[in-house]
Amino acid sequence: MSETPLIVQHDAYGLPGVVRLTLNRPGAFNALSEAMLDALQHSLDDVAASDARVVVIAGAGRVFCAGHDLKEMRAQPSLDYYQRLFARCSRMMLTIQRMPQPVIARVHGIATAAGCQLVAMCDLAVAASDARFAVSGVNYGLFCATPGVPLSRNVSRKAAFEMLVTGEFIDAQTARERGLVNRVAEPEQLDDATRALAASICEKPHAAIAAGKGLFYRQLEAGIETAYQLAGETMACNMMDDDALEGTQAFIEKRTPRWRKT
């Protein structure tokens, strides 16, 4: 029996109107497979058209999300496939920004690559104190172009670029200081902190929150669609590079990449 890639819970945390979407591939560190992307897109579209007040995105198991499913990506090495995959992911990420409900990322463990992108695209984020964040694709020959779009719109340019070119992790407190997350809580208090933030939003007029969110991004992110198109094309082409293919294969095989000699 196949796993359900996404668990949908209504009236989460005992709060009417709060919908919790839990990434449910714990054995694969909640990697964003095609099935996961489709499930997220479907659920976000449904919630956007409903009278829900707040969305919480969480992860099952030990981590929040480790990014794209590299095994799935490596199995279909064609430019057309990668273009379609990154376009699908970008559409889902943009849905988070375009929907009227505020979306909170509840982050524990790690959020890497497209998982870090997901955190950055959410309107708000609450992280466990031991959570860590990275855009680590460069370690496997794949520059995290699409994750770089929301990352560079959350943190300063130099901080974002350092993360993108080093692939190094930052801790939760650093993520908060740089503006990637809003609040940090001890792991055992993560749900309480997430609930408190959601409850605070639910107390406000729904129409004002919805209109305010729409205006916030219209004035702030006027060029994001073009940025996503360029980044998706860049990432798709990059994925066809021999070093990127070798890097993802090495990741799958849990070995050191054998780079091309330049």
CATH assignment of the domain containing 103: 3.90.226.10
- pLDDT tens for the chain, residues 1 to 262: 457 999 999 999 999 999 999 999 999 999 999 999 999 999 999 999 999 999 999 999 999 999 999 999 999 889 999 999 999 999 999 999 999 999 999 999 999 999 999 999 999 999 999 999 999 999 999 999 999 999 999 999 999 999 999 999 999 999 999 999 999 999 999 999 999 999 999 999 888 898 888 878 877 765 778 878 878 888 788 888 888 888 889 889 989 888 775 5
Residue 232 is assigned to a structural domain of this protein: no
Alpha carbon 186 to its chain's center? 21
What residues contact 153, with CB distance under 8 A and at least 6 apart?
120, 220, 221, 224
pLDDT of residue 1: 40
| Counted domains in the chain | 1
Residue 98 is assigned to a structural domain of this protein: yes
For the record, the structure tokens of 52 come out as 């829900």
pLDDT of residue 228: 83
Neighbours of 95 (CB within 10 A): 18
CB 53 within 8 A of CB 106: no
Residue 166 is assigned to a structural domain of this protein: yes
pLDDT of residue 261: 59
The alpha carbons of the chain give a radius of gyration, in whole angstroms, of: 18
Domain range enclosing 34: 6-189+202-207
Give the C-alpha distances (Å, rounded to integers) separating 217 from 48, 111, 115, 122, 125.
16, 23, 21, 12, 17
Q: What residues pair up with 106 in beta bridges, in sequence order?
A: 126
Residue 114 is assigned to a structural domain of this protein: yes
pLDDT of residue 87: 96
Residue 151 is assigned to a structural domain of this protein: yes
Residue 247 is assigned to a structural domain of this protein: no
Residue 217 is assigned to a structural domain of this protein: no
Give the C-alpha distances (Å, rounded to integers) separating 200 from 9, 49, 121, 177, 214.
19, 22, 20, 22, 19
Phi, psi for 60 (deg, rounded to 5) = -85, 155
Residues shown for the chain? 262
Residue 109 is assigned to a structural domain of this protein: yes
Residue 9 parent element (H or E):
strand 6-9
pLDDT of residue 190: 98
Neighbours of 229 (CB within 10 A): 13
